[in-house]
Structure 1
């Protein structure tokens, strides 16, 4: 099986980069897994959820391979049927993908045929029963040598094929050569007063390599921008297709925007802020001419992932909803959606932040549902008001005396007016707010605490710009985002 997977992986690297056998089967498993189960895996394994899937898949393949070997030795044809059936599953998984090409099934076909052939080859060289006192025999040594060789070739081919798939491609070369156009409207610089000098507090602007990532891709897509286009259609007067060249000739805007994932627990890390460069989606929709009683924009990624965004959010002139091509003065990283993605402030990512976007369809919520909505999540998902304690970390041991309690608070597209901190069951104390970058970003806060010896519970709550206080009611992330006050327990010596 190792050799079969290696052969399939090499074939994918040569002829169908996105259709490595492990990847297509893993992607199919993700699509078929119920939403609550996906959420449970993300909650337990975080960014390691995809690695966990690969480990489970490898174990399953190993068990099936062992079973096939035993059955083939006892009943010829039965084991190879199991191996070929595994290849057939890979074929079905590859062809089910929205981005399937004419060669999509080829790696899985090669995996099944190569695996079955090697199975038969080895079984025919398996030695007859060896007397109990005999430790080895020429036939056993030959069988083990062939088996080890097949496994070694399979491992090398699998690793080599994966590396070849991820190395320089037309897309990687194109991104490396691409220079962002100069913005027609630059973002207002981040105020110096937006950051507090508190060790351990979340930076106002998230470093690129620390920006959170949640998506259903097992392998980060690499699209050649010269082959990219955006189709704008549906309930519009003038449908059109926008090419990469045309997009980059449009007047771009810069905006600082905080994005948040609906899977973020209270106090969780799945939220980040960046400076984005892109073209307003509302101007694309104006060009198309929205008609009728449309109320939603149905966006689609190159691989068939979909999201449903309220039309009102896309057309609001006061909301920086953009088709982004740049992030923190660089072309979008592949993991962040290069060549183009959506950024819509104030909405959770699963309804607003489609990466590798290739299609915008103006339609109605009554007619379409996005990917995660079909998995049990809410249809509309404004980001909920929240706050987080970054300093001190849970479980730390502090010294008595003055200590900073600090963190961030947010309600994108509304803004934060006040943050309060409570120690144990004492009074609420108003924290100092840093300057806000804009209404679409989080804001830092801090409060100086005179720590006394003992164990303590620290809580935080925020009040938004409309005077609405963050709810203390606890709710799970399903179906539309977690609520509650972030609480941290610390010890003071």
Structure 2
């Protein structure tokens, strides 16, 4: 008796399957590019990652209206949305590269190299980039090109050795039976196509696993953040030489749902241009004061902590905050007065602006008079609500300037302050059409009830917060259904630099109602009801909500 070994028939590769494999190989090559680039970025700089660099370049190049729209739609999740969009773009390009490379060999490689050049440009144009920063992207592209070429060669070998899918014939006919029989009888042994298939699947599998492992290894990038967080957590800040006065007993109203008088760090809004939070070693941080000064100064973190620090409460607001928006919060800050450092540097006559610079390249133009005023507690902050600054809020040092929008004053991760003139220098956002000085406008917001809430008739607490930093709020008024403006009760403000809670007791009657609020500051300026967009110097208008009373 003679034994025979049965072999499976060779796999048939339809046009659809070939395209699917081609697209997958494009995605695999892109994954290799990113994995290799991320791996080498661990040893050069996490910020040299091509994904992060491209995302940062998109932030820089995006028009102001698009940034405003993104912030309005997604708030502090804007960076997550941007990364998702960049990821989707990479996926689409990868699929296109794979399809083109199979249909027109070498053109997919050319497109991949072109994308790599764009990513390299993005990396090299980052503010803190060094000569070594392009290396991860270049090495990643080289690896991606090799994977794309090698896998495509094996895919073509498999395709050329496998029989094509049989043409469609009428089912149940004698001709169809004869055609199928002829095909089976003429089929060549499938050892070659089987070997080609195994060779192709082997290299795809090994490369995929390798990309995943290398990409996972690149998560060591996060270890640097963990180290910074560990150092930050272990850091004990010195006690304030000049502590803030105790928060008045009447500063907080007993109204459910109203914004707390002090915003917890985890809830404090975050708007900046950093796609990845900088990881700064506090022991290596220093701040330079340069430009139009008699004495240039450089101060380290240890030297800053050794100075007599002040504690102050201050409300910060983003210029992109719409009327009734939540891009405004209040915290207790610990730091050193900027005016004292400027006094040591001795600005020259004619200087009217300080151009502060972040380690990630962001700049802000602050009127020098705002930093020198005795009545305004402008500080280099090292602490926030009793602990070292969180990384996302500027660790180890940031600027806090009451009364100015953040885009002209609240530089995080600050490393330089250049004394100059508005006529000689511009900053990140002023280059994009925003006003140069950015004083905060008096604003108010309704926290409770929520907009479009359904409530029961009776006495209802309408409450919220109002702010006019460095000036102070002296009054808040509420009106219902365009009626008479009625005064609200103000809580006791911590200081003129912080927001103040307010409440109005409203006798709600059944029906649909519109509630509006407006505030007046210590200078006698009352909010205008005329709507003004956020560009170029902040929104204006009355916060208005609708409620249904049953």
Q: SS at 1:125's partner residue?
A: helix
* Match in the other structure for 1:262: 319
Structure 1 segments of 4 or more deviating over 4 A? Answer: 166-170
CA contact (8 A) 2:274 2:360 kept: no
Q: Give the corresponding residue for 2:335.
A: 278
**Equivalent in the alignment of 1:36:** 65
Q: Tell me what 1:74 maps to.
A: 103
C-alpha distance in 1 between matches for 2:359 and 2:31: 30
Match of residue 101 from structure 1: 130
CA distance in 1, matches of 2:227, 2:462: 48
Structure 2 CA distance for aligned equivalents of residues 166 and 210 of structure 1: 24
Partner of 2:187: none
Aligned residue runs from structure 1 range 32-181, under 5 A: 32-126=61-155, 127-128=158-159, 130-132=163-165, 138=194, 139-140=196-197, 142-144=199-201, 146-147=203-204, 149-162=206-219, 164-166=221-223, 168=225, 170-181=227-238
Deviations 1:342-382 (A, max 9, x none): 00000000000000000011110000111001111111110
What secondary structure does 1:11 align onto?
helix
The answer on 1:429 being equivalent to 2:486 is yes
- Cα deviation for residue 264 of structure 1 reads 0.1
Q: For residues 120-167 of structure 1, what are the alpha-carbon distances to aligned partners after superposition, in whole Å with 9 as ceiling and x for unaligned?
A: 121011021652259x97344653554355345434543552464355
Write the mapping of 1:400-479 to structure 2, written as runs, cut at 5 A. Answer: 400-479=457-536
Q: Could you tell me how far 1:171 is from its partner in structure 2?
A: 3.0
Superposition map of 1:211-360 within 5 A: 211-360=268-417
1:208 to 259, 265, 269: 265
- Aligned partners of 1:41, 1:378: CA distance in 2, in Å? 20
Range that drifts further, 191-200 or 260-269: 191-200
Counterpart of 1:26 in structure 2 is: 55
Does residue 6 of structure 1 match 2:63? no
Partner Cα separation in structure 1 for residue 201 and residue 142 of structure 2:
22
The answer to whether the 8 A contact 1:16-1:103 is kept is no
- Name whichever of 340-349 and 69-78 sits farther off: 69-78
The reply on whether 1:366 has 2:423 as its aligned counterpart is yes
| 8 Å Cα contact 1:474/1:483 also seen in 2 | yes
Residue 37 (structure 1) shift:
1.7
Partners of 1:196 and 1:144 in 2: how far apart?
67
Shift of 1:40: 1.5
Displacement of 1:202: 0.3
What does residue 195 of structure 1 align with? 252
1:389 aligns to what SS in structure 2? strand
The separation in 2 between residues aligned to 1:433 and 1:156, in whole angstroms, is 59
Question: 1:173: Cα distance to partner?
Answer: 3.6
User: Taking structure 2 as the reference length, what is the TM-score of the superposition?
Assistant: 0.86
Q: Looking at CA atoms only, which structure, 1 or 2, has the larger radius of gyration?
A: 2
1:196 shift after superposition: 0.6
Cα 1:432/1:166, change in 2 over 3 Å? farther
Kept after mapping to 2: 8 A contact 1:299/1:306:
yes
| 1:282 alignment partner, SS class | helix
Normalised by the size of structure 1, how large is the TM-score? 0.96
Post-superposition shift, 1:327? Answer: 0.5
For residues 489 and 361 of structure 1, do their structure 2 counterparts lie closer, same or farther at Cα, with a shift above 3 Å needed? Answer: same
Deviates more, 1:250-259 or 1:11-20: 11-20
Cα deviation code 1:379-425 (max 9, x no counterpart): 11100111000000011110111111000001111111111111112
Between the aligned partners of 2:220 and 2:547, the Cα distance in structure 1 is 45
Counterpart of 1:395 in structure 2 is: 452
CA distances 1:144-199 after superposition (whole Å, capped 9, x unpaired) = 55435534543454355246435555533432332101111001111121001111
Q: Return 38-47 or 346-355, whichever deviates more.
A: 38-47
TM-aligned CA deviation for residue 27 of structure 1: 0.5
* Range with bigger deviation, 412-421 or 151-160: 151-160
Q: Classify 1:133/1:148 alpha carbon distance in 2 versus 1 (closer, same or farther; 3 Å).
A: farther
1:444 is paired with a residue whose SS is: strand
Q: Deviations over 1:68-91 (max 9, x none)?
A: 212222333221122122222222
* 149 and 384 in structure 1: CA distance in 2 versus 1, 3 angstrom threshold: farther
